[in-house]
Amino acid sequence: MNSPANPLRICCIGAGYVGGPTMAMIAKQCPDIQVTVVDLNQSRIDQWNSDVLPIYEPGLKEVVEEARGRNLSFSTDVEGGIRGANMIFISVNTPTKTHGLGAGRAANLEFVEKCARRIAECSQGHKIVVEKSTLPVRTAEAGKRILRSSSSGATFDVLSNPEFLAEGTAVSDLLAPDRVLIGGESSEAIEQLAQVYERWIPRQKILTTNLWSSELSKLTANAFLAQRVSSINAISALCEATGADVDEVAKAIGSDSRIGPKFLKASVGFGGSCFQKDILNLVYLCQHFGLSEVAMYWEQVVKMNDYQKQRFSTRIIRTMFHTVSDKQIAIWGFAFKKDTNDTRESAAIYVCRDLLEEGARLVVYDPRVSEKQIRHDLEDVFKDSSLEVSQRHKRLIETNVSIASDAYQASEHAHAIAVMTEWDEFKKLDMKRVYENMYRPAFVFDGRNILDEAVLAKIGFEVHGIGRSNKFTN
Ligand code: UDX
Ligand code: UDX
């Protein structure tokens, strides 16, 4: 493959946060390789083909524009994409199951299986199938069996090539990853994929393993990262109770080269599409293999995260004289982290839910998340076990949630501000102006510890950060 007679042609199924940027980078770096990204969602594909991409990632537009129309295309023709390629990436979503066996923990592999069946049906000759979606260990095995059943006589090699990019920094992560992991059985297939990445990534950063190690490494990496956040968040609760400052503690421990400084930022809780889903997946796997202690150990990381989100809402309510009913709270930021428009599992959703239940009026501002998405997420979080939203909750969202076009507007006539996402623009605001337009006491609950407490206190705010007892109460 990738000889003049048989050039490499890549197809990726799933034009999401992972498939889109990853394929755009491959196409940019390898102008001689045709890359087609296919997706069932017509409007997503239309957006990839337009000036306004469906996802916001710094630097992504430039990468897409360089390659699109040259060797990168986006289409809804899944079958055509599969037929035309000799290397097929599967990058469809694998959400946590909401019902049936393993509900709430296991990954829903329906989409991945459907992809494998589709590939089996419409392939001819030999193809390499690359798992990009994060999957439970040994999913590749199932994939192989489905592919082997192909009636067309096609043959396949299956590789696992998990993606480690983080949203908001996807382009730089893809450009210079810490490592690329390729798991598989066929050394030839591994080599074919390694040669693609080798175009811009040093060979020593391309690690090869067996299939299962690769699948498990992805789950483990996310579990370890999430565990660090939950660990520092656990300590933040103790700091609030005792008067220590969690950022000082993080700095002190992070200076130990064995611990390291990264991923020690206490927050209102981690979000994103991966951490919770992957840990629950790991928990399910451990339970499946009868390792209940191991399962419980990892489950605690998610429990601590739920506790952190709920602690934040409770702190707001308690501090504001035990009631937020009919009070206006400015929600600064709705995305699960800065520099992305992604809101999946964002802590903001859960904090807003709790505050709405208490009758607060919320004015939300996020520089990248649309009003439609915010309302959709809030409806979603109020769904009951039969996936219905009650009339009361629908009305609550309609009457008590409004969207502002900037942070100043959100905090006008507000009783409190809750910082939910660490957007840089929040650090540059004229906080005197914000203060003048708020009710007194003017509370700030900084769920990201990005604002300067001392400066705010001097203006007159009452500031409550994460992992700090508030020294600056007026
Ligand atoms: C996904 C997985 O969720 C994650 O586990 C994995 O690590 C990478 O791929 P992401 O790209 O963020 O992450 O998902 P999402 O943005 O939801 O994109 C998936 C896309 O696949 C969607 O655009 C969806 O329309 C598409 N899809 C899904 C198909 O084209 N066919 C399907 O059968 C199912
Ligand atoms: C994560 C992994 O980092 C990435 O390797 C994998 O491919 C997908 O999952 P992502 O979810 O995009 O990436 O973002 P990440 O930067 O890991 O942040 C996840 C959540 O943890 C965010 O809500 C973030 O705000 C939070 N976080 C992160 C903290 O609260 N404190 C920290 O110190 C770091």
Nearest ligand 1 atom, CA 55: 16
Q: Please check the confidence at residue 200 and state whether its pLDDT lies above 80.
A: yes
User: Tokens for 304?
Assistant: 């601590």
**Domain match, 69 and 167 both:** yes
Active-site residue 12, yes or no? no
- State residue 38's pLDDT score: 98
Q: What is the DSSP letter of 440?
A: S
**Domain match, 161 and 304 both:** no
Contact 114 CB / ligand 1 (< 6 Å): yes
Distance between CA atoms of 453 and 23, rounded to whole angstroms?
43
- State residue 4's pLDDT score: 73
Q: Are 202 and 138 in contact (CB under 8 A)?
A: no
Using CA positions, which residue lies closest to atom 24 of ligand 1? 14
Contact 225 CB / ligand 2 (< 6 Å): yes
The CA 363 to ligand 1 mean position distance, Å, reads 31
Type and span of the H or E element at 421:
none
For residue 417, the cross-strand partners are 330, 444
Distance between CA atoms of 165 and 150, rounded to whole angstroms?
33
- Average per-residue pLDDT in the chain? 95
The CA 37 to ligand 1 mean position distance, Å, reads 12
Residue to substitute in 337, 341, 369, 424 for testing ligand 2 pocket (most ligand atoms within 8 angstroms of CB): 337
Where is the domain boundary, 166, 191, 209? 209
**Domain match, 377 and 286 both:** yes
Q: Please check the confidence at residue 473 and state whether its pLDDT lies above 60.
A: no
Where is the domain boundary, 209, 229, 246? 209
Q: What are 15-32's pLDDT values in tens digits?
A: 999 999 999 999 999 999
* Proximal ligand: closest to the CA of 274: 2
* Alpha-helical regions (H) of 320-424: 347-357, 371-381, 391-400, 407-411
Contact 220 CB / ligand 2 (< 6 Å): no
- Range 53-63 average pLDDT: 96
Host domain of residue 397 = 275-465
Q: What are 436-449's pLDDT values in tens digits?
A: 999 999 999 999 99
The pTM is what? Answer: 0.94
**Domain match, 201 and 279 both:** no
What is the domain count for the chain? Answer: 2
Sequence length of the chain is 474
Environment class of 39 (CB within 10 Å of its CB; exposed 0-12, middle 13-18, buried 19+)? buried
For residue 129, the cross-strand partners are 88, 158
The CA 424 to ligand 2 mean position distance, Å, reads 17
Query: How would you label 62-72 residue by residue, b for 16+ Cβ within 10 Å and e otherwise?
Result: ebbeebbeebb
As a three-state string, the secondary structure of 102-123 is CCCCCECCHHHHHHHHHHHHHC
**Domain match, 183 and 312 both:** no
The CA 125 to ligand 2 mean position distance, Å, reads 40
Q: Which amino acid is at 412?
A: E
**Domain match, 166 and 302 both:** no
Per cent of the chain over pLDDT 70 is 99
Distance between CA atoms of 75 and 91, rounded to whole angstroms?
15
Q: Choose, from 11, 30, 274, 352, the residue flagged as catalytic.
A: 274
Q: Which amino acid is at 68?
A: R
The domain that holds 16 is classified in CATH as 3.40.50.720
Residue to substitute in 225, 235, 420 for testing ligand 2 pocket (most ligand atoms within 8 angstroms of CB): 225
471 — pLDDT class (breaks 50, 70, 90)? low
Residue 236 lies in a domain: no
Residues 6+ apart with CB under 8 A from 265: 229, 232, 247, 250, 448, 449
